[in-house]
Structure 1
Amino acid sequence: MPDATFALPDLTKFCHLDDLGLEVVGQHLAPDHAVLACRVLDADDGSEGWCRRCGCQGAPRDTVTRRLAHVPLGWRPTTLLVSIRRYKCTDCGHVWRQDTSHAAEPRAKLTRTGLRWALEGIVVQHLTVARVAEGLGVAWNTANDAVLAEGKRVLIEDENRFDGVAVIGVDEHVWRHTRRGDKYVTVIIDLTPVRDGTGPARLLDMVEGRSKQAFKTWLAERPEAWRDAVEVVAMDGFTGFKTAAAEEVPDAVAVMDPFHVVRLAGDALDQCRRRVQLAIHGHRGFKDDPLHKSRRTLHTGAGLLTDRQIDRLNQLFADEGHVEVEATWGVYQRMIAAYRTEDRSRAREAMAQLINDLGTGVPKALVEVAKLGRTLKKRAADVLAYFDRPGTSNGPTEAICECLPGWSGTGWSGWFRSR
């Protein structure tokens, strides 16, 4: 470091207090906290000492102190003791104080920088409210209320957050685990950045309920120009979402994402395995039953099987009583192989052929496969649309829903973890 300069540390710059209109004039460091004494920088236009009512010059009256929680330094809670001068007009008697709006909101207990740190800690770092409160040295309710208000302002009340949306994803989420009211919410996500490769998915909104009407009402509330700009709606197999999209954004293409399509096949495989297990043994699977022991191996892609898993499946399928499970497993593997094909045109052909094969000629004994075939045939256009539009999977929507905790009645901070 030949050009390095070492001088008296400037705590104002180091703590970014100059951006808040403050200057450090003293400090006290303890093992578990830090206190910085600050003063408010004089206004550049020189208007600080002039009465806002009559325009006459005021005289300094006294000084008050305001406590603000700031960004923790080294995870040591840092408190600012801001000295604020008060003035009294020599003509009308009006009393006012120095402007600290750059440092914090009126009556706020956190600086603007500390508030931003808390919001990013919950949204980006997935910290808990308790952890953020500990870092700031404030009560849980103080941190939670502040983060909620700032999150709504930055993420929810931004008037431009609906701009440029062309691809949306919709899914349901269990918001609370109680019997009172509707425990589900419908989550709407902006997938446009994912499709365009410009960034992650964004949470657009959450509405109470899981129904066609809930999604339809939300779409109807958007401006017509916005609805006309929506090109794709990614969703699961719930027909209510599809119907709502067809009625409110008829020009948008519905895409049923691979996650839910594969889950349909996986559910069919599980149902077949349980049915065969019960028919052969007369009871649900025990830990030593071959079908029960292989339940996870059956859901593993053929290309990822280990030698031990291959031997287990060979032994399982050697039993003629398991032929229906083997047939259903084959359908499941064909679906996985189609989605894993890198050439999207070939992948689409493979999936179309699978849907066609399941729509005709399925033996009556394979009741689960027949049901799967009817579902895929009904939603064939939505399933195949995925291969024509790269980057329109509803997977990011699922990921965001997993980040949203259930409503506990004490805090809404989970709203903002989906950033």
Structure 2
Amino acid sequence: MILDKMSVSAVAASVGLGWNTVNALALQAARTVASAPGRLDGVRVLGVDEHKWKHVRGNGDSSFVTVLVDLTPIVDGTGSARLLDMVAGRSKAALKDWLDARDDSFRDRIRVVTMDGFTGYRTATAEALDKARAVMDPFHVVHLAAEKLTVCRQRVQHDTCGHRGRTGDPLYGIRRPLLTRIALLTDKQKARLRSGLEAHEEHVAVSVTYAIYQELINAYGQENKRDGKVAMYKLLKRIHTGVPSGLAELAQLGRSLWARRAEILAYFDTGASNGPVEAINGRLEHLRGIALGFRNLNHYILRSLIHSGGLAQHLDAL
């Protein structure tokens, strides 16, 4: 199961044992390997994210877990990310308790922690890892800007048409190209986008917010990270203080991003992002689908470690 990522049913069929027997043996082995000495050695870049492990109510427990991933091999270019652990809940306490339970040598080694925009993770990192730099993932920064652009479009749509978007409305017709990086649009899409933005004078708020959105994406797309950092800082400073009235969504975005500017700019210095963490989340979703869901969180955590925890290199612990 660790080496070939086989399901319990497949292993049981191949060795001629019952499902319960194979599952019990696998969980026992996973516990032993996951707690092997030295498994957390060398971790310098830590990725943190939330993960929904069940979609049903019951027992009053949280349906979310906090996922912790070793991103050091990705940053160093020596290998792939690996799942370190999963903790029940998605809160400051969930992450901080896990970090506090590690020894001082582990906490002192951590230099970078990547995360989304959740302030609980940022606070836990600041309190437990005073030597680490927090990095706000670029995807979540762009996603936040996209949300504000969408809200702006919807507001102007209602102000000019008196109703929600409908087929034939100029802004409703460009809702998807509006969120796409301009370099990826076809000439036809660019023409439709330009036509929609210029259909009414009141659309100027959408045009300005759209321009800032594209600038944000372009800053991340700079080949030279220093140039990208400078461009990002200038953009954040500009929308923090220089937003005229009538651009409420852009002003909100400016305040939000300025408050997290240290974590946003840290990406350009470290090159670390939560992309590999999201990839592991996707693998865990696939695992849960194969198993048709889990009812026991401890079993799910151990199966996830078998699937994505890089346990093969620690099989000597058995």
Q: Of residues 299, 308, 327 in structure 1, which corresponds to 2:188?
A: 308
Query: 2: CA distance between counterparts of 1:417 and 1:364?
Result: 52
Q: Normalization by structure 1: what TM-score?
A: 0.66
Q: How does 1:5-404 map to 2 (within 5 A)?
A: 118-122=1-5, 129-130=8-9, 140-154=19-33, 156-180=34-58, 181-320=61-200, 321-390=202-271, 392-404=272-284
Counterpart AA for 1:324: A
Which segment is superposed worse, 293-302 or 255-264?
A: 293-302
Query: 2:315 matched to which residue of 1?
Result: none
Query: 1: CA distance between counterparts of 2:17 and 2:172?
Result: 51
Whose radius of gyration is greater, 1 or 2?
1
Q: Give the alignment's Cα RMSD to 1 decimal.
A: 2.1
CA displacement 1:107-155 (0-9 Å, x = unmatched): xxxxxxxxxxx33333xxxx6555555566655545544443443333x
Q: In the superposition, relative to structure 1, how do residues 219 and 289 fare at CA in structure 2: closer, same or farther (>3 Å)? A: same
Kept in 2: contact 1:193–1:199 (CA 8 A):
yes
Give the drift of 1:354. 0.6
Q: Of residues 299, 307, 317 in structure 2, which corresponds to 1:417?
A: 307
Q: In the superposition, relative to structure 1, how do residues 316 and 141 fare at CA in structure 2: closer, same or farther (>3 Å)? A: farther
CA displacement 1:385-404 (0-9 Å, x = unmatched): 111112x1121112112222
Moved over 6 A (4+): none
Query: 1: CA distance between counterparts of 2:167 and 2:138?
Result: 31
Query: 2: CA distance between counterparts of 1:136 and 1:306?
Result: 55
Q: In the superposition, relative to structure 1, how do residues 251 and 287 fare at CA in structure 2: closer, same or farther (>3 Å)? A: same
**Residue identity (%):** 47
Kept in 2: contact 1:317–1:326 (CA 8 A):
yes
DSSP 3-state at the match of 2:39: coil
Counterpart AA for 2:38: N
Query: 2: CA distance between counterparts of 1:159 and 1:277?
Result: 59
Give the drift of 1:250. 0.7
Kept in 1: contact 2:65–2:88 (CA 8 A):
yes
Q: In the superposition, relative to structure 1, how do residues 343 and 153 fare at CA in structure 2: closer, same or farther (>3 Å)? A: same
Query: 2: CA distance between counterparts of 1:415 and 1:184?
Result: 17
CA displacement 1:27-81 (0-9 Å, x = unmatched): xxxxxxxxxxxxxxxxxxxxxxxxxxxxxxxxxxxxxxxxxxxxxxxxxxxxxxx
Query: 2: CA distance between counterparts of 1:162 and 1:383?
Result: 27
Q: Normalization by structure 2: what TM-score?
A: 0.86
| Structure 1: runs of 5 or more not aligned | 1-117
DSSP 3-state at the match of 1:119: coil
Query: 1: CA distance between counterparts of 2:42 and 2:104?
Result: 14
Give the drift of 1:259. 1.1
Counterpart AA for 1:328: T
Query: 2: CA distance between counterparts of 1:120 and 1:287?
Result: 52
